[in-house]
Amino acid sequence: MSMPRLAKSRALHQRAEKLFPGGVNSPVRAFRAVGGEPPIIVRAKGAKLWDADGNEYIDYVGSWGPMILGHADPEVTEAVSRAAQNGTSFGASTPAESDLAELVTAAFPSIEMMRFVSSGTEATMSAIRLARAFTQRKYIVKFEGCYHGHADSLLVKAGSGVATLGIPGSAGVLDEQARFTLALPFNSTEALEKAFANYEGQIAAVIVEPIVGNMGCVPPREGYLQTLREVTRSQGSLLIFDEVMTGFRVALGGAQELYGITPDLTTLGKIIGGGLPVGAYGGRREIMRMVAPLGPVYQAGTLSGNPLAMAAGVATVSRLQRDRAKIYPTLERNSSTVVDGITQAAQQSEVEITSARVGSMFTWFFRLGNIYNYEDAAKSDTSKFAQFHRGMLDRGIYLPPSQFEAAFLSAAHTTAEIDKTIEAARSTFKSLKTAAVTSPS
């Protein structure tokens, strides 16, 4: 096995370390949790990435989910190019905003009215503010290991990079802000009912990743989302589905279509912009009419509805809608093949892993047993995952550099690329087993 050449990536990262904290603009990119050197990516096409040294990788990160059609999809890039020729930003309204909004609301009937923003963090932050204003209550419920962006009140027992780096919360978040966030174990009906009993009439909203992706992929137990819906409705609280990862990913209409649940508010992320910086929040018309300029809840953004992001979004969502009968079954079949194939390869080498998958988002947890919440996920062998990650990277497979991040497959992944991925895993697991046998006790 030849190791990737990373001389140019190394030099570029060293340059970046002088300019950015840790040399990165988002913490997990630094590879601190898995060791080794992060390749610096310069190009992507379809299911593949290339780094500064010319190394080729099959990509299962997909810009953390939104590249569902694959990288540099011709329809998307052409749409962005056409839009750019008319200007890159106006700070004013454009027809493309309504074009994309109509596509989104058609896929998500629960979204009667919406507002575009520039990121998933902005979307969840704004949805929380709106929920508090609508209900005139202070407390929100989130779930341990769920990540809803880096707004102060949502960093309590969060997932994603917070879990990856072992940070309990974040410095700089005031106790006065965090005290109104109640963090509960995911999939626990008992904890939910107890919280509502203890804070009766005080909880504005429950915000949840309906399929968690930020402590690894953790599906809801049967009936759990329905319980969230029933409890919030009976208690006068709002239910917010954070579908930044799951929206258009697990089904055209997201997890709410998949499970048949109607939330009050929904947040969406980069997938509605073809991977460009964009987010959105929306829901029932009576709630959304509280947003300025119609109502007293202020939220604004110069780049909201950016024409390039809108063009990419229209191209992406139109394609998903037009080809949904082909794209989603193919994603399901190929994702099942790669997840089951790697799980079987681990079992053949007596490496302990548990796989979890919903549609084309998935995780291999390096432990045995069901994963229902963050406490279960945290029992994974992160050092073994780090060895697996490095072994796969050396063999040309680009996985999320964290045990606590979901992986994603795109419509551009071919059977040959999936077969190569499984073979790389088989080889990596064999090397892990050999290392375990030969290492001194």
Q: Is 147 a catalytic residue?
A: yes
Residue whose structure tokens are 């009906």? 189
Q: Is 242 a catalytic residue?
A: yes
Residue whose structure tokens are 């088989």? 426
Amino acid at 84: A
Q: DSSP code of 23? A: G
- The C-alpha atoms of residue 276 and residue 83 are separated, in whole angstroms, by 13
- The C-alpha atoms of residue 393 and residue 413 are separated, in whole angstroms, by 17
β-sheet with 407-408: strand ranges across: 354-358, 361-365, 407-408
Identify the active-site residue in 157, 224, 270, 398: 270
Q: Is 270 a catalytic residue?
A: yes
DSSP string of 122-183, one letter each residue: HHHHHHHHHHHHHHT--EEEEETT----S-GGG-TT--THHHHTT-SS-TT--HHHHTTEEE
CA distances from 429 to 71, 260, 343, 351, 366 (A): 29, 39, 10, 7, 12
Nearest Cα neighbor of 281 from 295, 261, 258, 299 is 299
Is residue 286 helix, strand or coil? Answer: helix
Q: DSSP code of 88? A: S
- Give me the sign of the Cα torsion angle 80, 82, 88, 93: negative
- The C-alpha atoms of residue 269 and residue 353 are separated, in whole angstroms, by 30
Identify the active-site residue in 57, 139, 147, 374: 147
Identify the active-site residue in 51, 59, 242, 394: 242
CB–CB of 218/211 below 8 Å? yes
Strands annotated E in 177-278: 181-184, 203-208, 238-242, 265-268
- The C-alpha atoms of residue 35 and residue 45 are separated, in whole angstroms, by 26
- The C-alpha atoms of residue 117 and residue 276 are separated, in whole angstroms, by 12
Is residue 383 helix, strand or coil? Answer: helix
Amino acid at 389: H
Which residues are marked as active site?
147, 242, 270
